[in-house]
Amino acid sequence: MKVPKQTFTLEFKQLAIKRLKTEQSVAGVARELGLIKQTLQNWVKVASKGALKDAKNGGVIGSDIPLSASVPTVSVWT
């Protein structure tokens, strides 16, 4: 049985990256958000290039977009 792929909103990714800049280690933030450490590291790398994407519509968003303070949503593909 195949495990469904999780998708994350751009706001969720930005919030995770913002927490790294202000609070804790990659491992700590990943653990709190239920992510694999490598996933979070990949988001940081992509964001530094200004190419972080919203999984829902695939739109590329530059890293200069203000980070949302709202609670992000997580969707799961079935």
* 39 part of a folded domain: yes
* 37 part of a folded domain: yes
Q: What is the CATH number of the domain that holds 23?
A: 1.10.10
Model pLDDT for residues 42-75, shown as the tens digit of each residue: 999 999 998 888 876 554 444 443 444 333 444 4
Rounded to two decimals, what is the model's pTM? 0.65
> What is the domain extent for residue 23?
6-76
When divided into structural domains, the chain yields a total of 1
* 28 part of a folded domain: yes
* 1 part of a folded domain: no
Tell me how far CA of residue 56 lies from CA of 1, 24, 53, 67, in angstroms. 24, 27, 9, 17
pLDDT higher at 73 or 5: 5
